[in-house]
């Protein structure tokens, strides 16, 4: 199994990280099925999404990001407790830099089974955790 490096994940667009997470994780199975039916694509095959008309592709990108943002909202309290309070995310971020990814990947893997790395990277790239934990920079 190939695992992307942090540099590769950083270069990945947010919508693509959302697509990978939704395609890989059983937590998103029902939503994945709805999206695939609605757009007539397979989320496991990025080329089927890229071949959509531009307006439809933009709607898909927004929908993917909305699904993941909605998921973050449903686990907000647990994220706050485990990541902000117990782990001390803001302080860890200052002192450990990208080494915090190991913890976050493990935490998100527990929440979503597969796709923990991509979900953790999306949370970092979109500053979900910075906002949730109230980090100053």
Sorted by where each begins, the domain ranges of the chain are: 6-133
The string of pLDDT tens digits covering residues 2-53 is: 455 545 445 468 898 899 999 988 899 999 999 999 999 999 998 888 889 9
Residue 1 confidence (pLDDT) above 50: no
The string of pLDDT tens digits covering residues 80-136 is: 999 999 999 999 888 877 677 778 888 888 777 777 778 888 888 888 999 999 998
Residues constituting the chain: 137
* 28 neighbors 71 (Cβ within 8 angstroms): yes
Whether the model pTM is above 0.85: no
């Amino acid at each position: 199994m190939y695992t992307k490096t942090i540099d590769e994940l950083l270069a990945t667009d947010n919508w693509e990280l959302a697509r990978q997470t939704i395609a890989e994780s059983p937590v998103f199975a029902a939503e994945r099925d709805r999206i695939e039916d609605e757009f007539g694509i397979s989320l496991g095959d990025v080329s089927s999404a890229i071949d959509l008309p531009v307006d439809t592709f933009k709607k898909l990108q927004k929908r993917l990001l909305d699904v993941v943002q909605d998921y973050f909202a449903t686990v907000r309290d647990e994220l706050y407790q485990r990541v902000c309070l117990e782990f001390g995310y803001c302080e860890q971020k200052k002192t450990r830099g990208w080494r915090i990814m190991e913890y976050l990947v493990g935490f998100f893997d527990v929440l979503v089974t597969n796709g923990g790395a991509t979900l953790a990277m999306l949370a970092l790239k979109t500053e979900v955790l910075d906002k949730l934990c109230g980090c100053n920079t």
